[in-house]
Homo-oligomer: A and B are copies of this chain.
Amino acid sequence: MPINTSPDAPDFDLSGPTPVFVLVRPQMGENIGGAARAMWNFGLDRMRIVDPRDGWPSQKAIAMASGAGRLLDEAGMFDTVPDALADCDYVFATTARMRDITKPVMSPERAMEHARAIIANGGKVGVMFGPERAGLENEDVIHANALITVPINPQFPSLNLAQCVLLTAYEWRRQTADIVPEVVEMAGTDWAGHIEVEKMGDHYEETLEKAGFFYPEAKAASMKLNLRNLWSRMPMTKMDVQMMHGMMRQMKRWKERG
């Protein structure tokens, strides 16, 4: 049976520990709200904020967060980066640029894979995101164990704060959920069984034979083979097969009407 992976499916596990996302000196309330939405879109809800430029609480953040406002209510407020990271066992810093410090640089994918492993072993993981305009300073980055750099177009590296949070949260979700890469929505039907497709093939072959379709005689055998191959190649549902039968029956009625 096909597995349901639609948004309505219960395979999105929101229990269990997740990384803490730490917004360092964010400037605009709207972006804090946008970051909260991006986190919650992928089931992350632990936000910390270091020294927001426009103070706290922020009405603009609340307005922007809408359905993710709980993250702002529960967000931890800190004066400094070390305070915000004190209980973390492993810390990532997201940076867009080269840094003149020696540090591992990971893709978002590898970083969240690593985060999953640390958290599975009982560790706490923090991910720092810098202020909108300038990003994290070296003084912030030295507190991180590793960097995350998004593989972005060097001609247009313009990710904003919420987008960077979104991609990181998406990768966390990818690394920790059992995402089924491909299913087929069955819309209330099921695949046709082999015998059903065979019988449909018989129906078509018999009727087309009467209609004089397999002509000239010398080509009839290969035409029949090609037709059978066409049916078996098509991923048909029981409903499709019924419809195919109905079409052919109707063509016969039409002919019989004269």
Contact = CB atoms under 8 A, between A and B. Distances in A.
Interface residues of A, number: 64
Given A147-B185, A166-B167, A7 B104 contact: no
Contacts of A103: 184-185
B105 A182 contact: yes
Contacts of A188: 100
A240 B102 CA distance: 10
Given A107-B182, A180-B107, A153 B41 contact: yes
A98 B107 CA distance: 32
Contact of A102 (B109, B147, B181, B184): B184
Contacts of A5: 105, 107, 149, 151
A65 B184 CA distance: 36
Interface in A121-165: 147, 149-159, 163
Interface of A: 5-10, 12, 14, 37-38, 40-43, 66-68, 96-107, 109-110, 147, 149-159, 163, 166-167, 170, 173-174, 177, 179-189, 237, 239-240
Closest 8 CB pairs of A and B: A110-B181, A6-B98, A43-B153, A102-B187, A40-B156, A106-B182, A151-B179, A7-B154
